[in-house]
Chains A and B, each alone.
Chain A
Amino acid sequence: MNQVNGNGAVAMPARPNIVLPVYMDYQATTPCDPRVLEAMLPYFTEKFGNPHSRSHKYGWETEEAVEEARAQLADIIGADERDIIFTSGATESNNLALKGLAGFYRDRKDHIITVQTEHKCVLDSCRHLEQDGIKVTYMPVGADGLIDLDALAAAITKRTLVVSVMSVNNEIGVIQPIAEIGKLCRERGVFFHTDAAQAVGKIPLDVEAMNIDLMSISGHKFYGPKGIGALYVRRKPRVRLKAMIDGGGQERGMRSGTLPTPLCVGIGTAAALAKAEMPAENERLRRLQRRLYAGLAEAIPDVFVNGHLERRIPGNLNLSFAYVEGESLLMAIKDVAVSSGSACTSASLEPSYVLRALGVDVELAHTSIRFGIGRFTTEHEVDFVIECVLKHVGRLREMSPLWEMVQEGIDIKSINWAEH
């Protein structure tokens, strides 16, 4: 089989069955699993009915499909299917959870606790609410990316409405102590919301055992289609939300609009597959993650892991390659599709706020690369990526004045740099 290079041209294969660029950005998105797509297809054409139509077979058959999908999705998080609200994705779910809670309860409780390393859509929703008079506490994290439970307990007041902590971080893959946070929130009578976009299908989750009241879910992060997600909203004890979208009152009145049947079927099928394959798949991914880490960090000096190495999902590895700027490394390894925490890859010219929150030196934050591996990553691909990264880190370090200074024994921190 011929491989396709970054320019779309066909080149002779260097290794068997590797399509270039090698996709290692599974935290950004995942491909839709062909089995998921197959389950979805009939609902675009012959089974096109509006699932809310009550008077004919077209509506009945799609309603049944949607409800089966809802049950499949509920099953992977240990929820009652009646507690699942379909949305367009995790961004909408996070907005609905936080703004919806504040909208309903703000007369009694007006304080939200969240974390500095949350996804932008949680932080931005909180900023929006702050402008509306809600108070928000942004908890710091330790150098390993995890929050301190005692500090969290101390931050909860009588006015605290909800604690919102992501299950798994999108940049560094670390897993927060969700069960402990849930227990604390339940004891203190505070709602617990978790953005589980990067966690569902990756780690076992159980809304009962973990005392989770609201959970945001995204379909395309676990091999389902883009454009669909869900918000788990507990009914017992009841959590109420002020809807953001008004209309026909679908989804228990919390999210009006006709449900996209094919997408619902897709996310449900993806959940069922992820649940069935999770133990074996996680073991396989852990092996690949270790192989990648050993192949890079043990081969060359000054490679640092960002975030706790063990308490993270096996599909993520975030590394800093000191003295090599992240964007230039991305350009060099153009046969590998990854992302960087470097400022140069963002519009703001600020390096990753997540890495900054961990206390990672700004210099090192500029040199970080996020490797995301997943269901379709092979050992061949991992080996190819190791080879490619080693080669280019070596080349770029030879080109780096900082590397040269370090080799000469100069302490870079002792230099009075002119910040620009």
Chain B
Amino acid sequence: MAYNERVLDHYENPRNVGSLDKADPNVGTGLVGAPACGDVMKLQIRVGDDGLIKDAKFKTFGCGSAIASSSLVTEWVKGKTLDEAETLKNSQIAQHLALPPVKIHCSVLAEDAIKAAIADYRAKAAAKVEARKAS
């Protein structure tokens, strides 16, 4: 199978590979997929006091399209608000990377990963508010 140039570019020069401290209250972590399915993505965001996504990192076990999808998402969400980042659709990823039908699930997983990271951050933030109220 021949890969699209953009898939190859992200695969060979992945953006934002790495990890953020998942214990940091400003960091949201999304871990989606399953080893048995051949795809696991971990996507993390760090949100600034202004509500913007300051940093995003990923690690992915999966095919080239899965790596490219997660790399692309980290690039796209940086500098966005959580609400903006949440509107990201898998179809935009699939279209940008020209994924063939058998690889669409990679883009779905990347969308799930960013949504999970945002949800994790929001849960942490809500817990922090609760804790402040309680004390």
A and B: partners? yes
In contact, B31 and A420 (Cβ under 8 angstroms): no
When the two chains form their complex, are residues B64 and A328 in contact, meaning their CB atoms are under 8 A apart? yes
Tell me how far the C-beta of A400 lies from the nearest C-beta in chain B, rounded to whole angstroms: 5
Q: Does B85 contact A (CB under 8 A)?
A: no
CB pair B109 A420 closer than 8 Å: yes
Q: Most chain-B CB neighbours within 10 Å: which of A400, A412, A420?
A: A420
**In the complex, are the beta carbons of B41 and A401 less than 8 A apart?**
yes
- State how many angstroms separate the Cβ of B10 from the closest Cβ of chain A: 11
Task: Indicate which residue in B34, B59, B60 contacts A419 across the interface (CB closer than 8 Å).
Answer: B34
Number of interface residues of B (CB under 8 A): 30
| A403–B60 CA distance with the chains assembled, in angstroms | 10
* Residues 334 to 380 of chain A near chain B (Cβ within 8 Å): 342-344, 347, 349, 351, 361-363, 366
Complex partner residue of A401 from B8, B31, B64, B105, CB under 8 angstroms: B31
Q: Is B52 located at the chain interface by the 8 A CB criterion?
A: no
Q: Does A285 contact B (CB under 8 A)?
A: no
CB distance from B54 to the nearest CB of A (A): 21
Given A325-B62, A328-B63; A401-B3 close (CB under 8 Å): no
With an 8 A cutoff between CB atoms, is B125 at the interface? no
Interface size class of A (residues with CB under 8 A): 20 to 34
Q: Out of B19, B42, B63, name the residue touching A325 (CB < 8 Å).
A: B63
Closest to A419 in B: B34
Q: Is the CB of A331 within 8 A of B11?
A: yes
Known A349-B102, A420-B34: A402·B63 in contact at CB below 8 Å: no
Count of chain A to chain B residue pairs whose CB atoms are closer than 8 Å in the complex: 83
B97 to chain A, nearest CB (A): 14
Q: A327-B64, A401-B42, A404-B59 are in contact. Are A420 and B37 (CB under 8 A)?
A: yes
User: In this assembly, does B76 line the interface, its C-beta being within 8 Å of a C-beta of chain A?
Assistant: no
On whether A419 and B41 interact (CB within 8 A), knowing A328-B11, A328-B62, A399-B14, the answer reads: no
Contact (Cβ within 8 A) A399 B63 = no
Q: Which of B19, B39, B42, B61 has the most CB of A within 10 A?
A: B61
Q: Is B25 an interface residue (CB 8 A)?
A: no
Question: A283 near B: Cβ within 8 Å?
Answer: no
Beta-carbon contact of B67 and A366 below 8 Å? no
Residues 71-119 of A contacting B (Cβ, < 8 Å) = none
| Residues of chain A lying within 8 A (CB to CB) of residue B19 | 404
A417 lies within 8 A of B60 (CB): no
> A370-420: which residues lie under 8 A (CB-CB) from chain B?
398-404, 412, 417-420
Q: Are B61 and A417 in contact (CB under 8 A)?
A: no
Instruction: Evaluate contact between A351 and B60: CB separation under 8 angstroms.
Output: no
Q: How far is the CB of A391 from the nearest CB of chain B, in Å?
A: 13
Tell me the residues in window 97-113 of chain B with beta carbons closer than 8 Å to chain A beta carbons.
102, 105, 108-109
What distance in Å separates the Cβ of B90 from its nearest Cβ neighbour in chain A?
A: 12
CB pair B17 A399 closer than 8 Å: yes
Give, as a whole number of angstroms, the nearest-CB distance from B23 to chain A: 12
Instruction: List residues of chain A with CB within 8 A of the CB of B3.
Output: 331
The 8 A CB mask of A312-340 against B (1 = contact, 0 = none) is: 00000000000111011001000000000
CA distance in complex: A401, B66 (Å): 13
Query: What's the Cα separation between A404 and B34 when bound, in Å?
Result: 15
* A331 CB contacts on chain B under 8 angstroms: 3, 8, 11, 63-64
Q: For residue A404, which residues in chain B have a CB less than 8 angstroms away from its CB?
A: 19, 42, 59
Q: How far is the CA of A400 from the CA of B67 in the complex (A)?
A: 10
CA distance A177 to B112 in the complex (A): 49
Q: Is the CB of A327 within 8 A of B37?
A: no
A401 lies within 8 A of B63 (CB) = no
What CA separation (Å) do A342 and B35 show in the bound complex? Answer: 12
Give the distance in Å from the alpha carbon of A341 to the alpha carbon of B36 in the complex.
13
Q: Which of B71-126 contact A (CB under 8 A)?
A: 102, 105, 108-109
Q: Is the CB of B38 within 8 A of A366?
A: yes
B42→A351 contact, CB < 8 A: no
CB neighbours (8 Å) of B63 from chain A are: 325, 327-328, 331, 342, 344
Kindly list chain B residues whose C-beta atoms are within 8 Å of the C-beta of A400.
40, 59-61
Is A363 in contact with B35, judged by CB distance below 8 angstroms? yes
| List of A residues within 8 angstroms of B34 by Cβ | 417-420
Q: Which residues of A contact B35 (CB under 8 A)?
A: 362-363, 366, 402, 412, 417
Find chain A residues with CB under 8 A from B37 CB: 343, 419-420
Alpha-carbon distance A43/B90, docked complex (angstroms): 57
**Shortest Cβ distance from A253 into chain B, in angstroms?**
43
Q: How far apart are the CA atoms of A290 and B33 in the complex, in Å?
A: 36
In the complex, given contacts A419-B36, A420-B37, what are 15 additional A-B residue pairs having Cβ atoms less than 8 angstroms apart? Answer: A323-B61, A327-B63, A328-B67, A331-B11, A342-B38, A344-B38, A361-B36, A401-B40, A401-B59, A402-B61, A404-B59, A412-B35, A417-B36, A417-B40, A420-B108
3 shortest A-B CB distances, which residue pairs? A417-B34, A401-B42, A344-B63
Q: Which residues of A contact B (CB under 8 A)?
A: 323-325, 327-328, 331, 342-344, 347, 349, 351, 361-363, 366, 398-404, 412, 417-420
6 contacts between A and B (CB under 8 A): A325-B39, A343-B38, A363-B36, A399-B60, A401-B31, A420-B33
